[in-house]
Structure 1
Amino acid sequence: MKRLLRIGHRYVSLLVSIQLLLWTISGIFFAFNQIQQVRGEHVREAQPINVDLSSFKLETGPAQSVRFASRLGQPVVVVTKAGEKHYRVPSGNTVAMLTPQEAIEAVHIGTTLVAIDVEFVDKVAPGDEYRGRALPLYRVVAEDAEATQYNVYLNPYTSEIVAVRSERWRVWDLMWGLHIMDWRARDDIHNLPMKFFSLLALISGLTGIGLFFSSRRRVSSISMQSD
């Protein structure tokens, strides 16, 4: 029985060790990379919002939330009703969607980057780097002074930057997927493989401890008999 237990423990430990290695590698990567750098916060510029409340004539009615945003330096009002967002200027008029050229201008205003291309995004697939963001979006490809490329994602109504993605972020995202064992969407930390390997690691550890003390007792018994 003990022989079968040892053989089973050996193969289970090998299987668990592979995932433990991935957990360790990804953990080291997380420890040595600042999340602010990964998220591109270092290339973003603060956008102050100056609002003349005396010119505020918008009647919002019942709303879940009302907030101001800066659209190319000008205030806009974001009203959330029944889960939907409505965009208005303080006078009450509807805000038009940014043009591609205005999206490029927004990146020049809101970051230290130089925009080189722009694309309208209205679809998302599992694992996309802008997943979790409300659509549609503008994706502006931009570069810093060292020619490092970034994808800057903008709200097309407020010009707010909702995400900045770079090669460092993509490596981080890959490591995160390996860490939580959600290799496709990289979002679900409660997935079945994660639960299975966590329990397997626990069982392997407990079995190893049991075998260790069992081996010690056996060695002690043999030593006493030889004396």
Structure 2
Amino acid sequence: MKNSQRTTLALHRWLGLITGLQLLFWCAGGFVFSTHDIEWVRGNHGRDESAPTALPATGIAASPAEAIATSGLVGVHEVTLTTQLGKPVYRLVGQDGSALVDAASGEAFVIDEGQASQIAQGDRAEKPEVTQATLITGDAPTEFRGRDLPAWRVDLADADNTHIYIDQVTGAIAARRNDAWRRFDFFWMLHTMDYSGRDNFNTPWLVGFSVLGLLSVGSGWAIWLFRLVRKLGRAAA
């Protein structure tokens, strides 16, 4: 009994030493996750909630068929007449992608730097200054991982260091990133132990440390039981 208790105690100490830092990261991550408003993390606080611009009653010269022809898309299955920066546009979705077509001129509508900046500013109620607009065509930053490219990243001079990512093809806002999101994502990386992609729950590190954590808890309970049995034995004697 004494040898078993000594072995279990040594195992518990080594497991605590090995897993202690990761357990601290898990607890710290849980604290961050529970104290950060998820709407703030997603960049929804501070958005301009004004109603979208209504479609003009006149000025729509191009037909949906002409818009489809201009887009060059194959197997178009969705055509939506909407507005982009106050202008009427057709948003088309086909088997090989999406496109915008100017409903007034019938020409392709491509989001340039100035338009991307306007879209980003228009998304925020305070209309912060644009400090930089960058077209990303490859090697997307970590905070925009897994999203479609090309896209514009527009940096705003606000208190949250907000970046607005805008799909260059459709003009849609693909992501909003701020300091709260970056803190959340950093602790998410520590939580999942996926230090590259950050979203994989099945990494060997996570599985291994989870098992070690369970063994650490189990050995702690075993030590308590050993001591309880010894205490009861002494009391009975």
Query: Normalising to structure 1: TM-score of the pair?
Result: 0.83
Return the alpha-carbon distance in structure 2 between the equivalents of residues 68 and 132 of structure 1.
28
Return the alpha-carbon distance in structure 2 between the equivalents of residues 124 and 95 of structure 1.
26
Secondary structure of the equivalent of 1:220? Answer: helix
Contact 1:116 1:143 in 2 (8 A): yes
The residue identity in structure 1 corresponding to 2:22 is Q
Name the structure 1 match of 2:64.
58
The residue identity in structure 2 corresponding to 1:29 is V
Return the alpha-carbon distance in structure 2 between the equivalents of residues 9 and 67 of structure 1.
63
Residue 39 of structure 1: which of 38, 42, 47 is its match?
A: 42
Which piece of structure 1 moves more, 34-43 or 110-119?
110-119
Residue 24 of structure 1: which of 3, 7, 27 is its match?
A: 27
Contact 1:117 1:142 in 2 (8 A): yes
Return the alpha-carbon distance in structure 1 between the equivalents of residues 96 and 19 of structure 2.
44
Query: Is 1:204 aligned to 2:210, yes or no?
Result: no
Q: Could you report, residue by residue, the CA deviation over 1:74-95 in whole angstroms, capped at 9, with x for unpaired residues? A: 3444433336223334579453
Secondary structure of the equivalent of 1:149? Answer: coil
Contact 2:192 2:200 in 1 (8 A): yes
Name the structure 2 match of 1:193.
205
- Residue 135 of structure 1, CA deviation: 0.4
Name the structure 2 match of 1:171.
183
Return the alpha-carbon distance in structure 1 between the equivalents of residues 220 and 88 of structure 2.
63
Paired residue total: 222
Contact 1:57 1:92 in 2 (8 A): no
Name the structure 2 match of 1:129.
143
- Identical amino acids, percent of aligned pairs: 25
Match runs of 1:56-135 below 5 Å: 57-59=63-65, 62-63=75-76, 70-82=83-95, 84-89=97-102, 93=106, 95-111=108-124, 112=126, 113-125=128-140, 128-135=142-149
Which piece of structure 1 moves more, 33-42 or 161-170?
161-170
Structure 2 unmatched ranges of 5 or more? 69-73
Return the alpha-carbon distance in structure 1 between the equivalents of residues 77 and 9 of structure 2.
61
Query: Normalising to structure 2: TM-score of the pair?
Result: 0.80
Residue 14 of structure 1: which of 10, 14, 17 is its match?
A: 17
Inter-CA distance 222–193: structure 2 relative to 1 (3 Å threshold): same
Secondary structure of the equivalent of 1:211? Answer: helix
Inter-CA distance 23–220: structure 2 relative to 1 (3 Å threshold): same
- Residue 64 of structure 1, CA deviation: 5.7
Residue 139 of structure 1: which of 142, 150, 153 is its match?
A: 153
Contact 1:67 1:79 in 2 (8 A): yes
Q: Could you report, residue by residue, the CA deviation over 1:99-126 in whole angstroms, capped at 9, with x for unpaired residues? A: 211111222222232212211111125x
Contact 1:182 1:189 in 2 (8 A): yes
- Residue 148 of structure 1, CA deviation: 4.2
Q: Whose RCO is larger (CA < 8 A, sep 6+)?
A: 2
Contact 1:118 1:141 in 2 (8 A): yes
Inter-CA distance 215–76: structure 2 relative to 1 (3 Å threshold): farther
Q: Could you report, residue by residue, the CA deviation over 1:51-80 in whole angstroms, capped at 9, with x for unpaired residues? A: 579968324685565556642133444433
Return the alpha-carbon distance in structure 1 between the equivalents of residues 218 and 110 of structure 2.
59
Residue 165 of structure 2: which of 153, 162, 181 is its match?
A: 153
